[in-house]
């Protein structure tokens, strides 16, 4: 029997950050996503990262009306494009099937899909921490994912990308679980709600997760009404290498695997940990 070759090891892994503005029109959103895919392909990226709710978004709230199954148009389009171009994709979407809320009304699930460079659906992360804060009630429309689900980590060209989404960024134990699963890079698709101090929180938390994890952080925000945008890529030493403003933009960066190893050798804080993370169910 023949075996598939191991993914190539590269000195740098190229990542395209797509800070997109999308709305309720799924067909229009797919056109926006395809434009970002074309930019990533021209840049010869290994990985494209799209924001949370890239399939459809409403700043008033996202629920079952904007959900579509994993075999629906959005995810299958990502799989086709990934296979055609040898490009891995991480993207936020909303899927049906969440448990009803306390009022009995149906809820969806906020999910992030990871598609590998062969076009296979490598994994799905269902958001654990729902945004019931700062006046928002995400749990009225969405059901949480299981806290004890295996972490989602995608191997891309020799680096391992662990997936969080949006509000999860405020919970360092979520990042620790991904590190324990072998993540080198934390990927955070988000639609980070705007408001007093919110942009500052977003940046500060992304930098903190990088420093305490000695991991790179790729935090990709959505642009548009009610969200901050401001995507950023942070090195494992906490240095911000890319930072966008509020407008829709697509940019490409290289993540240096050697830099990651050097930082972890100089700052072996992960080896010095004395406590484990145990999910609370």
Please name which of 95, 94, 92, 86 lies closest in space to residue 116, comparing C-alpha atoms: 86
- Per the CB < 8 A criterion, the answer to whether 195 and 134 are in contact is yes
Q: Is 246 a catalytic residue?
A: no
Neighbours of 71 (CB within 10 A): 9
231 membership: H or E segment, kind and range:
none
Q: Hey, what are 138's tokens?
A: 């995400």
Task: Considering the candidates 68, 81, 127, 138, report the single residue annotated as catalytic.
Answer: 127
The CA-atom distances, in angstroms, between 181 and each of 46, 134, 161, 264, 277 are 21, 31, 10, 16, 12
Q: Is 127 a catalytic residue?
A: yes
- Per the CB < 8 A criterion, the answer to whether 244 and 168 are in contact is no
Task: Considering the candidates 21, 68, 81, 166, report the single residue annotated as catalytic.
Answer: 166
Quick check: helix, strand or coil at residue 35? Answer: helix
Q: Return all residues near 31 (Cβ < 8 A) that are at least 6 apart.
A: none
- Per the CB < 8 A criterion, the answer to whether 148 and 279 are in contact is yes
Gap between the Cα atoms of 190 and 202, Å rounded: 10
Task: Considering the candidates 21, 52, 68, 138, report the single residue annotated as catalytic.
Answer: 52
Query: What are the residue numbers of the active site?
Result: 52, 127, 166
């Amino acid at each position: 029997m023949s075996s598939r070759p191991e993914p190539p090891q590269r000195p740098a892994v190229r990542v395209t950050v797509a800070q997109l503005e999308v709305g309720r029109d799924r067909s229009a959103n797919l056109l926006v996503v395809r434009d970002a895919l074309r930019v990533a392909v021209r840049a010869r990226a290994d990985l494209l990262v799209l924001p949370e709710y890239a399939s459809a978004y409403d700043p008033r709230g996202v629920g079952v009306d904007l959900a579509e199954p994993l075999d629906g148009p959005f995810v299958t389009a990502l799989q086709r494009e990934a296979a055609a171009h040898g490009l891995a994709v991480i993207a936020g979407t909303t899927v049906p099937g969440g448990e009803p809320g306390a009022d009995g009304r149906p809820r969806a699930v906020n999910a992030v899909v990871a598609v590998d460079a062969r076009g296979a659906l490598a994994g799905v992360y269902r958001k654990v921490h729902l945004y019931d804060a700062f006046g928002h009630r995400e749990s009225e429309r969405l059901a949480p994912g299981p806290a004890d689900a295996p972490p989602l980590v995608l191997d891309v060209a020799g680096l391992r990308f662990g997936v969080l989404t949006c509000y999860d960024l405020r919970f360092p134990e979520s990042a620790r679980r991904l590190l324990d699963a072998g993540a080198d890079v934390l990927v955070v698709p988000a639609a980070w709600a705007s408001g007093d101090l919110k942009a500052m929180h977003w940046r500060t938390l992304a930098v903190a997760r990088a420093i305490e994890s000695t991991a790179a952080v790729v935090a990709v925000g959505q642009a548009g009404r009610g969200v901050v945008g401001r995507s950023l890529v942070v090195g494992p030493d906490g240095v911000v290498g890319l930072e966008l403003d509020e407008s829709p933009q697509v940019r490409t960066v290289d993540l240096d695997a050697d830099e990651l190893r050097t930082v972890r050798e100089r700052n072996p804080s992960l080896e010095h940990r004395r406590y484990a993370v145990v999910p609370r169910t």
